[in-house]
Amino acid sequence: MSKKKTIIKWAALVVGGLIITLVSFGYWFLSLLPAPVVSKEVLRQTQPENLPYLVEGKAPNRGKILAVVTSTAVMGNSEKPTGYELTELARAYYIFQANGFEVEIASPLGGSPPVVIDADDMREYDYAFLNDEVAQNKVTNSLAMQDVKPDDYQAVFFVGGKGAMFDFPQNTYIQSLVRGYYESGKVIGAVCHGPAAFVNVTLGNGEPLIANKTISSFTNEEELLLIPDARDIFPFLLQDKLMEKGANFNEGSMYLNQVSSEKNLVTGQNPWSTWSTAESVVEQLGYTPKRREITTEESSVAILQAYETGGYDKAKKTLSNYCISNINAIDRELLAVHSIVAAMQFDLLKAIELIQLLSFSNDAVINKSI
């Protein structure tokens, strides 16, 4: 056999071995994700009245909160579709409603704004929102910002979605409302790309609203991992622009919960911060948020945050505590996604340790079910 044929043979064996190894790993990795306790089909049927948090121990009427969503359907010249993030609106909407606030919805252009629905992120509250006739009527007939009467509301909440980067910053009605609310002490909240509403707001003293304010928003790292050419698509990266305007940018761990409160200004970093951001708005309004059973997604975020602050052992202990109380209390898919993100960032130790946590949680499910 010639030297060339020998090299080809060994190369084929190596490539074949790698393929077999990768396929085997893939099957094993997927085996760590048990079938969901509640199927997607059942989740899709969720109605608001099926959620105890919304129907039990109703809070008294405390006024109105305005939720603002983007009207932009396409990211600049990229032809990439966009809109507001349904999960960020739905979860905040129900937090406010459960705590006694009627929620009205506005957008720069009014009418039916474009929406982004990511099936992988959808949970019971999100499907309940889609099945909520009152909520859907409000969102499909959103108020145009020019028709909003600021005095009607106790607070405003800017919902994220990449479209906000294109129509929030230049909207003079948004700028006027935010300026008036901040200077009068009314509460202003925003999550993910929602803080784009603040970048061009100037106060009566001529200073930018966000100068020397502690602010969180979707970070450069989070943006560029999902959209590598984001600098070419967006008019700016939100973290860069906020810092350019003088904000003290408060960056948390990638794709985990991070909320900043600066007097009457409350901001959250990403979609996983929506629950906490909305509840912080309620607190800034002077109320103790109604007790809520945290979601499986939030439990997994807590485990991941424990990993970021204390490493594998702390995360494993946190995971164990959840499994002791309820083996179905965590979202194993979210742990899997974060292990993949770590691998994409070439942080192989983190990826391996998160897979070990996933395996540990799977073992807990199996052992408790025997």
Tens-level pLDDT at each residue, the chain (370 residues): 555 545 544 544 444 444 444 444 444 444 555 555 567 888 899 999 999 999 999 899 999 999 999 999 999 999 999 999 999 999 999 999 999 999 999 999 999 999 999 888 899 999 999 999 999 999 999 999 999 999 999 999 999 999 999 999 999 999 999 999 999 999 999 999 999 999 999 999 999 999 999 999 999 999 999 999 999 999 999 999 999 999 999 999 999 999 999 989 999 999 999 999 999 999 999 999 999 999 999 999 999 999 999 999 999 999 988 876 665 678 888 988 999 899 888 999 999 999 999 888 876 554 444 3
Are 116 and 57 found together in one domain?
yes
Are 250 and 300 found together in one domain?
no
Give the chain's domain count.
2
What pLDDT sits at residue 331? 87
Q: Could you tell me which residues come within 8 angstroms of residue 275 by beta carbon, excluding any fewer than 6 positions away?
A: 91, 95, 257, 292, 294, 295, 298
Q: Has residue 174 been placed in a domain?
A: yes
Q: Has residue 143 been placed in a domain?
A: yes
Please report, for the domain that includes residue 254, its CATH number: 3.40.50.880
Q: Domain of residue 330: give its range.
A: 294-370
In whole angstroms, give the CA distance from residue 367 to residue 370: 5
Q: Has residue 361 been placed in a domain?
A: yes
Are 115 and 221 found together in one domain?
yes
Q: Has residue 19 been placed in a domain?
A: no
Please identify, among 284, 302, 324, the residue that sits at the C-terminal boundary of a domain: 284
Q: At 260, which helix (H) or strand (E)?
A: strand 259-262
Are 326 and 271 found together in one domain?
no
Q: Has residue 33 been placed in a domain?
A: no
pTM over 0.95: no
The answer to whether the CB of 276 falls within 8 A of the CB of 292 is no
Integer distance in angstroms from the first to the last C-alpha of the chain? 56
What pLDDT sits at residue 231? 96
